[in-house]
Amino acid sequence: MYKLNQNETPLFDALMEYVDRDTIPFHVPGHKRGHGVDAKFKQFMGENPFQIDVTVFKLVDSLHHPTGPIKEAQALAADAYGADASFFSIHGTSGAIQAMIMSVVNAGETIIVPRNVHKSVTAGIILSGATPVYMQPELDKNLGIANGVLPETVEATLKENPHARAVLIINPTYYGVATDLKRIAEIVHSYDIPLIVDEAHGPHLKFSDQLPLSAMEAGADLCAQSTHKIIGAMTQCSLLHVRTKYVDVSRVQQIMNLLQTTSPSYPLMASLDTARRQIALHGKELLAYAIDLAEYVREKINEIPGFYCYGKELLNRPGVFAIDPTKICITCRDLGITGFDLDMILSNKYHIQMELSDLYNVLAVGSFGDTKEHMDQLLAALWEISEEYMNKSSRKADFLDIPPIPKQVLIPREAFNGQKTSVPLSDSIGEVSGEFLMAYPPGIPVLCPGEVITEEIVQYVEDLKKTGLYVQGTEDPRVENIQVVL
């Protein structure tokens, strides 16, 4: 099924050769294979990480101009994921997303994106000077989360903006909800433009048929994945995959070179090389284990009074085309405590650290690194918490409908660079916002930089505050003042 030998790890092997040669290091980093490292740090870390912490030279290749083991390692990644080319990003998916956007849109051109994008998308839009057109994702009122964007929404937005140069989709969401990406790819391609996918939460999808379709399989032209989030790479390590029909690979390389450091970490890149080997060769079994464990804990959580952990029953609700079962989202609305409270109780009392929390939920990221013992410890903690808090407070209120997307009069780059001043929110109607204003739940901006503040938005923020729901994003943490562009 693969064209290349996925058992190979060319970059890691080159580093091993460097170590085996017992090379004398007259190159940076100055710690010289660990000899110059602080003793306290080295005692904890051990010798090995420093032995392969090298810099760019022929034996280990260059990330900016790969001709040797990095080139081979990236080709293996492309082969594993079914891409025409792949790039290592040691600036996480954030860096890869900025590069994807800058590869397909220039200043003055339009890109269509969901309203609830990660801040790296906004950064890419600011850096490129592009004009965003926003699509609203589907919302789940009960869970207080944003799901995927519907194909129909993409179709309607493209119809209104036929001059757009690219469409970006988040798939799957942080909460493991996937949209119908294949259908979206067909719609986007009917306009002869590329589909780019923020697949931060999907580096594992390709390797199990129990998971949603991966971006490359669905027909995306560019996708960025956090290899470090879900599978075996170290933090900061992501992959950017390219299909060449609508995207110029040499442009992607140039932009990656523009954005990434000239001193990339070789231990990090070696972890990408070996994580790819692991998932390509053993992904199916490893993911079957992770899915079984997550399904086990999901079923058990649903037996605990006050908690709910969604699964397949969500399918076919708006924006829910498929579900990643490894995401364990624990909803605690019926227990009368917030997700933030639950997160703190689990962390402080039980030393269990969740991935994120919001008003109604905490999210555990499941992976093949989990154990049944840890799942059982989580369940035991949840039982105790349920017994302590059940029937003490009432269910948290529903979130309020979000006002319509306001008019954009400045593009994000102009708003970002423009001179700003802080004014009371109540006096800001008609001004141009210089910052984001986010409604939690469901984590969607009601205002983006460059948009006109309306009376409806100011009223909405007042209503949110009265209901005890969250609004944030402004420099003023109490959201009484807002930065506006002069």
Site of interaction with ligand PLP (CB under 6 A): 92-94, 97, 118, 120, 170, 174, 198, 200, 226, 238
CA atoms within 13 Å, Cβ hemisphere of 369:
13
Cα distance between residue 209 and residue 29, in whole Å: 43
The CA-atom distances, in angstroms, between 81 and each of 85, 224, 242, 369 are 9, 12, 10, 21
Distance in Å, CB of 153 to ligand PLP, minimum: 18
Closer Cβ to ligand PLP, 224 or 247, answer by number: 224
By Cβ distance, which residue is nearest to ligand PLP?
92
Closer Cβ to ligand PLP, 227 or 338, answer by number: 227
Distance in Å, CB of 235 to ligand PLP, minimum: 8
Pairing, β 437-440 against β 420-424: unpaired
Q: Which amino acid is at 204?
A: H
Distance in Å, CB of 305 to ligand PLP, minimum: 31
Closer Cβ to ligand PLP, 97 or 482, answer by number: 97
Closer Cβ to ligand PLP, 196 or 485, answer by number: 196
Closer Cβ to ligand PLP, 356 or 423, answer by number: 356
Distance in Å, CB of 117 to ligand PLP, minimum: 8
CA atoms within 13 Å, Cβ hemisphere of 235:
0
Short-list 57, 80, 137, CA closest to 284: 80
Joined tokens for residue 457: 């938005």
Distance in Å, CB of 399 to ligand PLP, minimum: 20
Are 322 and 315 contacting, i.e. CB atoms less than 8 angstroms apart?
yes
Rounded to the nearest 5 degrees, what angle is found at the Cα of 307, between the Cα atoms of 302 and 313?
50
Are 247 and 222 contacting, i.e. CB atoms less than 8 angstroms apart?
yes
Closer Cβ to ligand PLP, 198 or 221, answer by number: 198
Short-list 445, 351, 344, 468, CA closest to 398: 468
Distance in Å, CB of 184 to ligand PLP, minimum: 16
Rounded to the nearest 5 degrees, what angle is found at the Cα of 382, between the Cα atoms of 381 and 383?
90
Short-list 211, 226, 363, CA closest to 290: 211
Closer Cβ to ligand PLP, 307 or 321, answer by number: 321
Distance in Å, CB of 173 to ligand PLP, minimum: 7
Closer Cβ to ligand PLP, 176 or 306, answer by number: 176
Closer Cβ to ligand PLP, 198 or 358, answer by number: 198
Rounded to the nearest 5 degrees, what angle is found at the Cα of 307, between the Cα atoms of 303 and 309?
80
Distance in Å, CB of 361 to ligand PLP, minimum: 15
Distance in Å, CB of 107 to ligand PLP, minimum: 23
Q: Which amino acid is at 129?
A: G
Short-list 347, 383, 445, 386, CA closest to 134: 445
Cα distance between residue 100 and residue 111, in whole Å: 12
Closer Cβ to ligand PLP, 174 or 360, answer by number: 174
Distance in Å, CB of 445 to ligand PLP, minimum: 14
Closer Cβ to ligand PLP, 240 or 452, answer by number: 240
Closer Cβ to ligand PLP, 200 or 461, answer by number: 200
Are 11 and 59 contacting, i.e. CB atoms less than 8 angstroms apart?
no
Query: Which residue carries 């949603």 as its tokens?
Result: 212
The distance from CA 428 to its chain's CA centroid, rounded to whole angstroms, is: 32
Distance in Å, CB of 440 to ligand PLP, minimum: 15
Distance in Å, CB of 144 to ligand PLP, minimum: 17
Assess whether the previous peptide bond of 442 is cis (omega < 30° from 0): yes
CA atoms within 13 Å, Cβ hemisphere of 175:
26
Decide: helix, strand or coil at residue 14: helix
Are 238 and 25 contacting, i.e. CB atoms less than 8 angstroms apart?
no
Distance spanning both ends of the chain, measured CA to CA: 58
